[in-house]
Amino acid sequence: MPFGHGARSSAAPEGSGLPPGPGPAPRALPCDPFVADPVAGNRRRHPYPVPVTPTLFANAIFHTLNPAQPHPEALLVADGFVLAAGPAAELRAHAPAGTSTVDLGNAVVIPGMTDAHIHTASLARSMHEVDLRGAGSLAEALAGVGAVLPRYRVGEWILGGWWDFNKWQVPVQPDRTSLDAVCPRNPVALTSTDGHTVWANSQALQLLGITRETPHPAGGEIVRDAAGEATGILRESAVYPVRKLAASGVSGNLPEQLREAQRYLLSLGITGVHDIDGADALAAYRILREEEGLALRVHKLLAQDDLEGSIAAGIRTGQGDSWIRHGAVKIFADGAAGSHTCHMSQPFPGGTGHGVEVTTYPELLALAGQAAEAGIAVAVHAIGDRANTLVLDALAAIRDTTALNALRHRIEHVQFLQPADVPRLAELGVVASMQPQHCPSDMPILGMVEGRGLASYAWRTLLDAGATVAFGSDSPVEVPNPFHGLHAAITRTTATGEPDGGWEPQERISLAEALHAYCVAPAFAAGEEALKGTLAPGMLADFAVLDTDIFTTDPAGIRDTKVRMTVTGGAVRYRRDA
Ligand SMILES: [Zn+2]
């Protein structure tokens, strides 16, 4: 009987902002998917209309990721949820009067994917800013800046960046003088592709108030030349003022830009994001929701700067509803691999030291403890093996508070691990939030860490240890295309297949495991596994309709997969031919 376990709708006050009908008040537990958010003031029943008439989605190959019904013939959707899955004729026979049918034309359906680590505000802005990703030299980077100049008025900030000196013919750190020569009449501050370094010109340094006398900020560096003058390179916490500037509105109307980014993400089969950007993104998403234009599910992490205020406002991880929900607080333990600022137990070759401990261990412990006590999970950015060890030490130290508040902490990136830390991470129940595309992208520096016995981008090892691995893109650092991520996860090669057989191929995982990391694991990380991640009866009707069966094609075919249609809450939000 296909209707055995559907009908969640009576239990879920979708977006009502009210307790779920008569009876006891909602449990005020973090991660409870049905606790409405008193702060968000989610007054609408739905962020925008969900089809009231039930719909039968038929004539497709369904991969539901539901082990009980992995490949049903059809899905019956009502009120935003999957009501039943099974043989089309049987569903049709039992469907409520007025059920409409959508013929999917022999396409392939997978659950909607969630990007578990994405900076959607930055992505949205980047679609309008300087993009030096294609530059293969300093000269090409400078030419790229010169090319956008006509779009700006004199004195207007020029932001963006995405430069990566590791990919330049002569990999040198650039300086302000070269930028001054191209761009003397505008302040320019260009963030490196990993987001941890800024390359600024003289006018930008002046406006940022950086002089000879400015001390290094805690956890950051203002690089200086032999004469003591700032070179224009700012590292780690020294880039924060530029991030603030970029978030201040000098770069345009964020809700408008997010609308465009949302359409782009839907076109890639993404139905949910774990957004890592700041409160500006949350405010913009709420505007989209008010305008009935929100079509992506947003799990919103908090910036560290907002922790105190959030605690004071009574915000806890898990509050919200299935559209906008509060997540963990993001804390930076270290820097990045590309900038050689990740915190390693052995230094990178070339004398750049052990990396940067952006948050010291005592601070990390204090912050994690403060957050956990207030019912807020932590998401700690840790790339180097030493950083990961310290984060796990801190999470082990607060495990009682964590258990008491039923929190799911996460580590973002988890790129290099000491082998002994792998079982520790699994045993602590920490979610490994990882980005498969970083593996091929970091190829130029991976040789530097080979032979150290580290578990690097260790998806196989982590899964075998029983850890939850959730995948994302870190977009705009990488293109937010999850099919590129699936390809990287199963091959560990670049798009063109290098290196042959994959880098450390023993860490490859299967397509089913990789898709799980884009669907089920992000839902678990967000405490939403009863709502999202599979297409079982009772789950939200969020899915992507593909032109390719990713389970039968080769890796190149997976990478090139196109999305025909994306459905969130039972409503078609994107159509390729539209
Ligand atoms: Zn990130």
Centre of ligand 1 from the C-alpha of residue 204, in Å: 24
Centre of ligand 1 from the C-alpha of residue 74, in Å: 37
Q: Give the residue, 401 or 129, on which the prediction is more confident.
A: 401
DSSP per-residue string spanning 95-150: SPTT-EEEEEEEEEEEEPEEEEEE-HHHHHHHTTSEE-TT--SHHHHHHHHHHHGG
Centre of ligand 1 from the C-alpha of residue 33, in Å: 25
Q: Per-residue pLDDT for 15 more than 90? A: no
Q: What is the pLDDT of residue 567?
A: 97
User: How open is the CA angle 192-198-203, to the nearest 5 degrees?
Assistant: 135
Q: What percent of the chain has pLDDT over 90?
A: 77
Q: Per-residue pLDDT for 18 more than 50? A: no
Centre of ligand 1 from the C-alpha of residue 276, in Å: 6
Centre of ligand 1 from the C-alpha of residue 554, in Å: 29
Rounded distance between C-alpha atoms, residue 536 and residue 424, angstroms: 32
Alpha-carbon distances, residue 73 vs 204, 463, 516 (angstroms):
59, 30, 21
Q: Tell me: the pLDDT tens digits for 462-515?
A: 999 999 999 999 998 899 999 999 999 999 999 999 999 999 999 999 999 999
Q: Tell me: the pLDDT tens digits for 77-95?
A: 999 999 999 999 999 999 9
Q: What is the pLDDT of residue 112?
A: 98
Centre of ligand 1 from the C-alpha of residue 279, in Å: 15
Q: Give the residue, 8 or 62, on which the prediction is more confident.
A: 62
Q: What is the pLDDT of residue 185?
A: 94
Centre of ligand 1 from the C-alpha of residue 370, in Å: 23
Q: What is the pLDDT of residue 352?
A: 66
Centre of ligand 1 from the C-alpha of residue 185, in Å: 31
CA 406 to chain CA centroid, Å, is: 22
Centre of ligand 1 from the C-alpha of residue 56, in Å: 38
- Residue type present at position 301: L
Q: Per-residue pLDDT for 42 more than 60? A: no
Centre of ligand 1 from the C-alpha of residue 444, in Å: 20
Query: Looking at 246-250, 274-278, 309-313, 487-491, which range is the least confident one?
Result: 246-250
Centre of ligand 1 from the C-alpha of residue 476, in Å: 9
Centre of ligand 1 from the C-alpha of residue 40, in Å: 24
- Residue type present at position 192: S
At 301, which helix (H) or strand (E)? strand 297-303
Work out the average pLDDT over 433-439: 97
Q: What is the pLDDT of residue 171?
A: 86
Q: Tell me: the pLDDT tens digits for 246-267?
A: 877 787 789 999 999 999 999 9
Centre of ligand 1 from the C-alpha of residue 479, in Å: 12
Centre of ligand 1 from the C-alpha of residue 421, in Å: 22
Work out the average pLDDT over 302-321: 96
Q: What is the pLDDT of residue 51?
A: 59
Closest listed residue to residue 541, CA positions, set 127, 39, 51, 192: 51
Centre of ligand 1 from the C-alpha of residue 474, in Å: 5
Q: Tell me: the pLDDT tens digits for 527-578?
A: 999 999 999 999 999 999 999 999 999 999 999 999 999 999 999 999 998 5
Centre of ligand 1 from the C-alpha of residue 250, in Å: 22
Query: Looking at 26-40, 70-84, 201-215, 339-353, which range is the least confident one?
Result: 26-40
Centre of ligand 1 from the C-alpha of residue 478, in Å: 10
Work out the average pLDDT over 454-459: 97
Rounded distance between C-alpha atoms, residue 383 and residue 488, angstroms: 18
Residue 316, Cβ density class (10 Å: 0-12 exposed, 13-18 middle, ≥19 buried): buried
Q: What is the pLDDT of residue 451?
A: 85
Q: Mean pLDDT in the chain?
A: 89
